Amino acid sequence: MRVGIIGGSGYVGGELLRLLLHHPQTEVALVTSEKHAGEYVHAVHPNLRGLTHLKFTQYHLSKVEKNCDLVFTALPHGASVKIVPELLKAGLKVIDMSADFRLKNPESYLKWYGWNHPVPELLMEAVYGLPELHREEIREAKLVACPGCMATATILPLMPLIKSSLIDLDRIIVDVKVGSSGAGAAPSAASHHPERSGGTRPYKPTDHRHIPEIEQELSLVAKKPVRVAFTPHAVNMVRGILATVHAFLAREITMKDVWMAYRLTYENEAFIRFLRYKKGLYQYPDPKIVVGSNFCDIGFEVDSRVNRLVVFSAIDNLMKGAAGQAVHCLNIMLGINEKTGLEHPGFHPV
Amino acid sequence: MRVGIIGGSGYVGGELLRLLLHHPQTEVALVTSEKHAGEYVHAVHPNLRGLTHLKFTQYHLSKVEKNCDLVFTALPHGASVKIVPELLKAGLKVIDMSADFRLKNPESYLKWYGWNHPVPELLMEAVYGLPELHREEIREAKLVACPGCMATATILPLMPLIKSSLIDLDRIIVDVKVGSSGAGAAPSAASHHPERSGGTRPYKPTDHRHIPEIEQELSLVAKKPVRVAFTPHAVNMVRGILATVHAFLAREITMKDVWMAYRLTYENEAFIRFLRYKKGLYQYPDPKIVVGSNFCDIGFEVDSRVNRLVVFSAIDNLMKGAAGQAVHCLNIMLGINEKTGLEHPGFHPV
Amino acid sequence: MRVGIIGGSGYVGGELLRLLLHHPQTEVALVTSEKHAGEYVHAVHPNLRGLTHLKFTQYHLSKVEKNCDLVFTALPHGASVKIVPELLKAGLKVIDMSADFRLKNPESYLKWYGWNHPVPELLMEAVYGLPELHREEIREAKLVACPGCMATATILPLMPLIKSSLIDLDRIIVDVKVGSSGAGAAPSAASHHPERSGGTRPYKPTDHRHIPEIEQELSLVAKKPVRVAFTPHAVNMVRGILATVHAFLAREITMKDVWMAYRLTYENEAFIRFLRYKKGLYQYPDPKIVVGSNFCDIGFEVDSRVNRLVVFSAIDNLMKGAAGQAVHCLNIMLGINEKTGLEHPGFHPV
Amino acid sequence: MRVGIIGGSGYVGGELLRLLLHHPQTEVALVTSEKHAGEYVHAVHPNLRGLTHLKFTQYHLSKVEKNCDLVFTALPHGASVKIVPELLKAGLKVIDMSADFRLKNPESYLKWYGWNHPVPELLMEAVYGLPELHREEIREAKLVACPGCMATATILPLMPLIKSSLIDLDRIIVDVKVGSSGAGAAPSAASHHPERSGGTRPYKPTDHRHIPEIEQELSLVAKKPVRVAFTPHAVNMVRGILATVHAFLAREITMKDVWMAYRLTYENEAFIRFLRYKKGLYQYPDPKIVVGSNFCDIGFEVDSRVNRLVVFSAIDNLMKGAAGQAVHCLNIMLGINEKTGLEHPGFHPV
């Protein structure tokens, strides 16, 4: 399949390239960047040096239409929505990495992003690209809206607990720790090395933009409104997200009940790993262990002393939280083995 | 005042030395280390090179008795309890950095630490060395039990909220992020650089040993039993603790109510700083900013959408969480300006 | 081919497993560890969780003999030499990761390692496993002695310069910066996170043990004795080595002369990448860019103002500096495409 | 003394504030920032929260003239030269942190900085503010040009060797490792956390701008032209510089000869520390140990095998490499104890 990457100079674009250049079923036909048009992609993504002679080009619809069957749009929020409609109209399938098509309720865009959605009719057509929840719809989708990285890390551990009615839906706390690559490739004061290195900095402790998609999807699972109290922290790592979910128990439960809930939902999932083996240093999820892989590691403890369940999920924000998840969706759309091009584990130590 | 440090080769011992060597009212009479006896302290604490010619000596009661008026015991848990009784009997005042005298209920030692307390009668005599809570008792104390670092970071933000009855006492979540120096100077797999660097690793997600002292002190404040759900995470920093407290509201409140609660309790405290100024990168506490100082930075947001209050407190685990707090106690015992020897801010950036 | 890993619980063992489990021509028949025998390998190498059900076993010659055609020995220096002779005698091919068979002169072991080599006759039989220098001998080898990681990073940039007589052989400076994984998986004071994080610490500034193999191989190239002044520094990274070679010019040269020297030697090498493109942030080698890959990145500048050539080479110490290089040797021995199982680039950013 | 800081929002400005607010002989009368005028200094320098109510003001000559006796100019290169003349004319003493007055030869500015120096007559009047070399001139100076951070780390270890004619002046290699704060507070691609963290990146491997001041000062010492081959590397630390000097021996020497050379020059210097004690982890200089202090730590080895001397010097780039050195100069100008306000050691670990 001939694929294109629209907006390929960011970190997600780089990961898409890394994955797609080795994917046996795809040929990268073009990769665009307005800023770097004419430059070798390896000048921007130096790990790809020697592996490709591709250069960035400017975006032209006609060129994309002619050379691609499917495109990944890896543009900033608010920019995707401007070109996705024309790509769809041209008959291309689109896997969009931005937030522009994740929310079903058009009003949510005004509320959480500050702008009116220009093509609200596309919101119902778009499929929220979390394979573990929407596999069948992804298979037939024309437009996939890839989940936010922190949303992925939050929904995956919570979905089975909600399905199995194990937790109190009114008091869900999600305390997230996130690496610096999550904020993108553009330099900023918040990601300036002297400021970011060695610190642990809360940001957007209420009203983070990933909340509406988390609540939308979990409410779908619960079949009633679910609210989450969500607070992220910028920590001193480059890649990775650890979501610590603190939930209060809806009833008396044991570790076994929780394992059963997880197994029930994820038994056949290729990219969910459970941490049950009580040996070694990594008995709970740590994003360090999934860096570069598409895995979501999940582990937990029942804290019956205080009637709490604490669950940890770890992902690589650029992989399971973005490019890896997008390729997973692609595999589903292609009807091939879902692991294709995503088999590789992370490095240890890294 | 002639002071001694018993067990001075660890990180807390090093900080005590750094502070006491510049303290205008103390003379460091001796510093012991069984392992490094005979060596210069600067071989172990290289930042002190050129500032002192002290050498480590072996511990001998008679020598301590003869040369010191007060001692800091910076020994591992379970080791302090073996020598503190004889130090007290010899008429010395003791500021103990271990957990051995923090808990009032002797049975708690069996439950949380796994051993029977050999001198339970000293537990009621010992004063829990948190100046913001026990200033008057510290003034007259013969034995001060310095709080645990994570306990300090947890009690300080919670105490005023409990005093002012702002939060639901049954659902307090404390999600802690802690630097590697908190685990001490002895190499271990968990603190091995290749394993610790760049990761975010939950550990002891339930039943951490700092819980009983936290609950003891908060119950004292609440005048009824308080329980906290407590989970620490090892993050990629050397010094510092960030405690994120997620609490549900007991009633409808505003930001102003919370500020008033904090001001009421901490208005005249020298080492509590509030973060209210909404400019700049550090609008919430970040341990990076207090590294090397004795400050506890506190900030928060009311998340009325989900009926939650989220509070952040940041301390340097070796300072406000250990050596700085101990010197603060010393200053109170000496009846001098509480800031003496502790005026210096942290470095930025660091 | 059925392969075994003797001593598979260290970092090099983990990388060998990661590579060999995905290698199309190998089946990992066994992996030994005296310390972890009976445990799942993923308890020690958590990135492999879900990818293998292998367990560590104890070393028994008969078992190895029966189940393997070739073994990788990833044991500490001085331990390999005790079992390699019996493995060879049993008809197995051996790729040894230790220093025990790298030096040709038996006396060098006494001088640099402090022990008499027990089987000096094997030293001449062993092939120094640097494919770029000894490809033909590796093809036929029964015993391959994989180069040291810092030796690899030093020999590769120097070899072409010496071949082409561009530099003064009496004044070669090699200033190395190395990540913490290079010191292995065993905790130590030097690799304790609080001590290693954020520092830059020289160690063994003279007489480092990689010097004799560097000088042995470069002298072979020069056909006369070469000496290098070699000083490593422990820096705050987990993986990677940057070798900065400062050499004085033997005659007046231009950038083009240097490029020609490198091209002449490495034109067809799969794992040497040159940095000539003067765009982007990474115009010189940085180990960060090769993490997890088998590449050696090389770049340089002629500093005619001071008659100097400065060359940089970057490798991943566990890959091109150990496990990757070993698999490269394996591919040569198998007569298959040298890139097999080693095609993947590093991650960026990481 | 009433002092002002012109350009106080950068990292050097922050350190000057930290030092001067606690300095017993100075009163900070004003601190300017065009960008942050009107804001509290603690919004930009969060470590100073609670310690000062100062706000940034805009620069007005009349205000500075009226309120200050001496000013520190902490402006970018090329900006200082525009205001220093008017400050001097107004009768103020100036300690300038930029490069604008460091070089004696006006032509060097065109060559190394790309602009013609507008007030070349001030260059001979300015004193290069390295106390260990120019103490007497600093005492009487009206304009002190503070040395560059990497120049300080390079000149200090080399000066005594040159004085004592121990090394070959034609083959001096300086291989520098520098933290990210050295590049200043403005975000950039090179200092973006995802790019800088965990890497070791050479930059400006030839022709770095600190070279002319290094050669100027060392030639002064040698009384003949000295050239240095100089290459810096950006490493994963925030503060600190390690300079590794590789020099070839002019004659056969012992460790003792080198110690004598150092003692001869630095015996009475307050901020030079020697590392001779062969115990503990830090037997050679590591910038980690001097973070926050004004010390320059020096250590070395004679590598007679290759006729080389390798010397290490470690400083905090913002302290001995900038603000600390400036306050040291101030103390000399004031005729007070040179250590005033600079007594504090660094933290360990940090």
- Tell me which chains share at least 3 CB pairs under 8 Å with chain A: B, C, D
Structure tokens at D334: 């004031």
Distance from C-alpha of C175 to C-alpha of D177, rounded to nearest angstrom: 11
Distance from C-alpha of B173 to C-alpha of B246, rounded to nearest angstrom: 5
Q: What percent of chain D has pLDDT over 90?
A: 99
pLDDT of residue D90: 98
Distance from C-alpha of A284 to C-alpha of D27, rounded to nearest angstrom: 53
Asked if A153 and A315 touch (Cβ cutoff 8 Å), the reply is: yes
**Residues 262-281, chain C, touching D (beta carbon < 8 A):** 281
Exposed, middle or buried: residue D272 (CB in 10 Å: 0-12, 13-18, 19+)? buried
Number of H helices, E strands in chain C: 13, 13
Nearest-by-CA chain C residue for B198: C238
Residue B11 touches chain C, beta carbons under 8 Å: yes
- Residues of chain C neighbouring B194 (CB-CB closer than 8 A): 11, 179-181, 185, 191, 238
Residue D348 touches chain B, beta carbons under 8 Å: yes
- Residues of chain A neighbouring C40 (CB-CB closer than 8 A): 277, 279
Helix %, strand %, coil % of chain C (to 5): 35, 20, 40
The Cβ of residue D38 has, within 10 Å, a number of other Cβ atoms equal to 9
| pLDDT single digits (tens) B11-54 | 999 999 999 999 999 999 999 999 999 999 999 999 999 999 99
Q: Identity (one letter) of the amino acid at A131?
A: P
Nearest-by-CA chain A residue for B188: A281
pLDDT of residue D154: 98
Alpha-helix runs per DSSP H in chain D = 11-21, 41-44, 61-67, 80-89, 106-108, 121-125, 131-140, 149-163, 193-196, 211-222, 255-266, 287-290, 323-334
Residue B305 touches chain D, beta carbons under 8 Å: no
| Interface size between C and D, measured as CB pairs under 8 A | 161
pLDDT of residue D18: 98
- Residue B349 — pLDDT band, cuts 50, 70, 90? very high
- Residues of chain D neighbouring C303 (CB-CB closer than 8 A): 205-207, 229
Residue B237: which of A194, A199, A244 has the nearest Cβ? A199
Question: CA angle, corner C96, sides to C90 and C97, nearest 5?
Answer: 155
Q: Any residues with CB less than 8 A from the CB of D314 and at least 6 apart, and which?
A: C200, D153, D240, D241, D242, D243, D285, D286, D287, D289, D290, D296, D297
Pick the more confident residue, A277 or B347.
B347
Residue A312 touches chain B, beta carbons under 8 Å: yes
pLDDT of residue B2: 98
Q: What is the pLDDT along chain A (350 residues), one digit of tens a residue?
A: 999 999 999 999 999 999 999 999 999 999 999 999 999 999 999 999 999 999 999 999 999 999 999 999 999 999 999 999 999 999 999 999 999 999 999 999 999 999 999 999 999 999 999 999 999 999 999 999 999 999 999 999 999 999 999 999 999 999 999 999 999 999 999 999 999 999 999 999 999 999 999 999 999 999 999 999 999 999 999 999 999 999 999 999 999 999 999 999 999 999 999 999 889 999 999 999 999 999 999 999 999 999 999 999 999 999 999 999 999 999 999 999 999 999 999 999 99
Structure tokens at B40: 């210069």
Distance from C-alpha of D10 to C-alpha of D22, rounded to nearest angstrom: 19
Distance from CA of C62 to the nearest CA of D (A): 44
3-state secondary structure of D343: coil
Residues of D belonging to the active site: 149
User: What region, left, alpha or beta, does residue D294 occupy, with left being phi > 0 and alpha being psi -120 to 50 degrees?
Assistant: alpha
Are B193 and C185 within 8 A, CB to CB?
no
Structure tokens at A10: 């960011």
Residues of B belonging to the active site: 149
pLDDT of residue D221: 98
pLDDT of residue B51: 95
Q: Any residues with CB less than 8 A from the CB of B27 and at least 6 apart, and which?
A: B1, B2, B3
Cis peptide before D160 (omega within 30 of 0): no
Residue D202 touches chain C, beta carbons under 8 Å: yes
pLDDT of residue B183: 95
- D35-39 average pLDDT score: 97
Residue B346 touches chain A, beta carbons under 8 Å: no
Alpha-helix runs per DSSP H in D100-146 = 106-108, 121-125, 131-140
Tokens 């809930």 appear where? A261
Distance from C-alpha of A233 to C-alpha of A190, rounded to nearest angstrom: 12
Residue B198: which of C185, C191, C238 has the nearest Cβ? C238
| pLDDT single digits (tens) D177-229 | 999 999 999 999 999 999 999 999 999 999 999 999 999 999 999 999 999 99
- Residues of chain D neighbouring C195 (CB-CB closer than 8 A): 281, 288, 349
Give the dihedral sign, CA C92/C96/C101/C102: positive
Asked if A56 and A41 touch (Cβ cutoff 8 Å), the reply is: yes
Q: What are phi and psi of B303, to 5 degrees?
A: -110, 75
Residue D238 touches chain B, beta carbons under 8 Å: yes
Asked if D111 and D213 touch (Cβ cutoff 8 Å), the reply is: no
- Residues of chain C neighbouring D207 (CB-CB closer than 8 A): 303, 305
Q: Any residues with CB less than 8 A from the CB of A107 and at least 6 apart, and which?
A: none
Domains of chain C and any CATH numbers: 2-125 (3.40.50.720), 150-317 (3.30.360.10)
Classify strands A2-6 and A70-73 as parallel, antiparallel or unpaired.
parallel
**Residues 124-163, chain C, touching A (beta carbon < 8 A):** none
- Tell me which chains share at least 3 CB pairs under 8 Å with chain B: A, C, D
- Residue D232 — pLDDT band, cuts 50, 70, 90? very high
Distance from C-alpha of D217 to C-alpha of D229, rounded to nearest angstrom: 15
Distance from C-alpha of C8 to C-alpha of C44, rounded to nearest angstrom: 9
- Residues of chain C neighbouring D227 (CB-CB closer than 8 A): 305-306
CB burial string A59-78: b at 16+ within 10 A, e below:
beeeebbeebebbbbbbebe
Q: Any residues with CB less than 8 A from the CB of C107 and at least 6 apart, and which?
A: none
Are C185 and B197 within 8 A, CB to CB?
no
Task: State the average pLDDT for chain B.
Answer: 97
Are B306 and A228 within 8 A, CB to CB?
yes
Distance from CA of A145 to the nearest CA of C (A): 24
Exposed, middle or buried: residue C111 (CB in 10 Å: 0-12, 13-18, 19+)? exposed
- Residues of chain C neighbouring A54 (CB-CB closer than 8 A): none
pLDDT of residue C273: 98
Distance from CA of D45 to the nearest CA of A (A): 11
Nearest-by-CA chain A residue for C240: A350
Q: Among A276-285, B132-141, C127-136, D234-243, where is mean pLDDT lowest?
A: A276-285
Asked if D181 and D318 touch (Cβ cutoff 8 Å), the reply is: yes
Asked if D66 and D87 touch (Cβ cutoff 8 Å), the reply is: no
Residue B242 touches chain A, beta carbons under 8 Å: yes
Distance from CA of D60 to the nearest CA of A (A): 28
Residue C194 touches chain A, beta carbons under 8 Å: no
Q: Identity (one letter) of the amino acid at B345?
A: P
Number of H helices, E strands in chain D: 13, 13
Are D236 and C238 within 8 A, CB to CB?
no
pLDDT of residue A333: 98
Asked if A44 and A36 touch (Cβ cutoff 8 Å), the reply is: yes
Task: State the average pLDDT for chain D.
Answer: 97
Distance from C-alpha of D174 to C-alpha of D196, rounded to nearest angstrom: 22
pLDDT of residue D12: 98
Among A295, A298, A130, smallest CA distance to A216 is for A130
Among B94, B97, B45, smallest CA distance to B68 is for B94
| pLDDT single digits (tens) C291-309 | 999 999 999 999 999 999 9
| pLDDT single digits (tens) A193-222 | 999 999 999 999 999 999 999 999 999 999
Are C238 and A350 within 8 A, CB to CB?
yes
Residue D323 touches chain B, beta carbons under 8 Å: no
Distance from C-alpha of A37 to C-alpha of A49, rounded to nearest angstrom: 17
pLDDT of residue A187: 98
Question: CA angle, corner A42, sides to A36 and A45, nearest 5?
Answer: 85
Distance from C-alpha of A346 to C-alpha of A315, rounded to nearest angstrom: 11
- Residues of chain B neighbouring D46 (CB-CB closer than 8 A): 280-282, 286, 289, 348
Classify strands B228-235 and B172-178 as parallel, antiparallel or unpaired.
parallel
- Residues of chain C neighbouring A290 (CB-CB closer than 8 A): 47
pLDDT of residue B15: 98
Residue C199: which of D197, D201, D287 has the nearest Cβ? D287
Residue A175: which of B238, B246, B303 has the nearest Cβ? B246
| pLDDT single digits (tens) C35-64 | 999 999 999 999 999 999 999 999 999 999
pLDDT of residue A129: 98
- Residue C27 — pLDDT band, cuts 50, 70, 90? very high
Residue A187: which of D180, D181, D188 has the nearest Cβ? D188
| pLDDT single digits (tens) A102-150 | 999 999 999 999 999 999 999 999 999 999 999 999 999 999 999 999 9
**Residues 41-80, chain C, touching A (beta carbon < 8 A):** 42-51
Calculate the CA D154 to chain-centre distance. Answer: 10
Provide the angle, in degrees to the nearest 10, between the axes of the packed helices D131-140 and D323-334: 50
**Residues 174-193, chain D, touching A (beta carbon < 8 A):** 179-181, 185, 187-189, 191-193
Distance from C-alpha of D270 to C-alpha of D240, rounded to nearest angstrom: 19
3-state secondary structure of C291: coil
Distance from C-alpha of D121 to C-alpha of D142, rounded to nearest angstrom: 14
Tokens 């609008």 appear where? B283
Distance from C-alpha of D72 to C-alpha of D94, rounded to nearest angstrom: 6
Q: What Rg do the C-alpha atoms of chain A give, in angstroms?
A: 20
pLDDT of residue A116: 97
For the beta sheet containing B93-96, the strands, ordered from the edge strand earlier in sequence to the opposite edge, are: B27-32, B2-6, B70-73, B93-96, B143-145, B127-128
Q: What are phi and psi of D230, to 5 degrees?
A: -130, 125
pLDDT of residue D300: 98
Nearest-by-CA chain D residue for B43: D280
Residue A35 touches chain C, beta carbons under 8 Å: no
| pLDDT single digits (tens) C101-139 | 999 999 999 999 999 999 999 999 999 999 999 999 999
Are C289 and A51 within 8 A, CB to CB?
no
pLDDT of residue B275: 95
Classify strands A228-235 and D127-128 as parallel, antiparallel or unpaired.
unpaired
